[in-house]
């Protein structure tokens, strides 16, 4: 390469590099990348420098790749947010299900306790009825014994009165 073509190429590259410092500090926005490629391509055509035009094609390809990467990052962020939302919904449903199961278990325990209380009351009532029946039988036996004693005494009195006549 002759110095005549090398000097303008370096001047264009240096000018774009200096002009691009703020853009690179800002994260190299896509508009700057496209403008840089367009300027290199135009300068390469005017100067007849294929090196600058090759740089322009590389810059365009890099800008397109960065644009695709940003699009993919955005898609990935959107998918991640959707997945996070689905996970949160799943967690909320699981928590609701767990709470419902805890309530059902508590209700079942309460029902079992109530059934146990009913059984215990029923058993106590049965025992009281049996005891009452036993006491009634005992009272009846005592009444019959008293009646038997009274009749025996009356019989003794009648017997004594017959002998004394």
Task: Kindly report the average pLDDT of the chain as a whole number.
Answer: 84
**Residue 19 Cα to chain centre, angstroms:** 53
Q: What is the pLDDT of residues 126-147, one digit of tens each?
A: 988 988 888 888 988 899 988 8
Total structural domains within the chain: 1
Q: Which ranges of the chain would DSSP assign to H, the alpha helix?
A: 3-19, 21-25, 30-47, 50-163
Flag whether pLDDT at 70 surpasses 60: yes
Structural domain of residue 32, as residue ranges?
3-80
pLDDT band with cut points at 50, 70 and 90 for residue 104: very high
Query: Tokens 């699981």 appear where?
Result: 94
Q: What is the pLDDT of residues 144-161, one digit of tens each?
A: 988 888 888 888 888 888
In-domain check, residue 63: yes
What is the rounded average pLDDT of the residues 104-120?
A: 89
In-domain check, residue 132: no
In-domain check, residue 115: no
What is the per-residue pLDDT for 85?
95
Query: What pTM did the predictor assign?
Result: 0.48
In-domain check, residue 123: no
pLDDT band with cut points at 50, 70 and 90 for residue 116: confident
Residue pair 52/40 in contact by the 8 Å Cβ criterion: yes
In-domain check, residue 20: yes
């Amino acid at each position: 390469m002759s110095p005549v073509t090398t000097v303008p190429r370096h001047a264009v590259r240096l000018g774009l590099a200096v002009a691009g410092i703020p853009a690179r500090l800002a994260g190299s926005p896509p508009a700057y990348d496209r403008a840089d490629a367009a300027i290199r391509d135009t300068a390469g055509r005017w100067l007849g420098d294929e090196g600058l035009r090759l740089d322009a094609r590389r810059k365009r390809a890099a800008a397109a790749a960065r644009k695709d990467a940003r699009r993919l990052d955005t898609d990935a962020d959107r998918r991640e947010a959707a997945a996070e939302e689905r996970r949160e919904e799943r967690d909320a449903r699981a928590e609701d299900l767990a709470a419902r199961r805890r309530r059902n278990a508590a209700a079942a325990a309460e029902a079992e306790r109530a059934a146990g209380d009913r059984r215990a009351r029923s058993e106590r009532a049965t025992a009281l009825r049996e005891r009452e029946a036993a006491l009634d039988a005992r009272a009846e036996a005592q009444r019959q014994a008293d009646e038997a004693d009274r009749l025996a005494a009356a019989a003794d009195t009648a017997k004594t009165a017959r002998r004394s006549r």
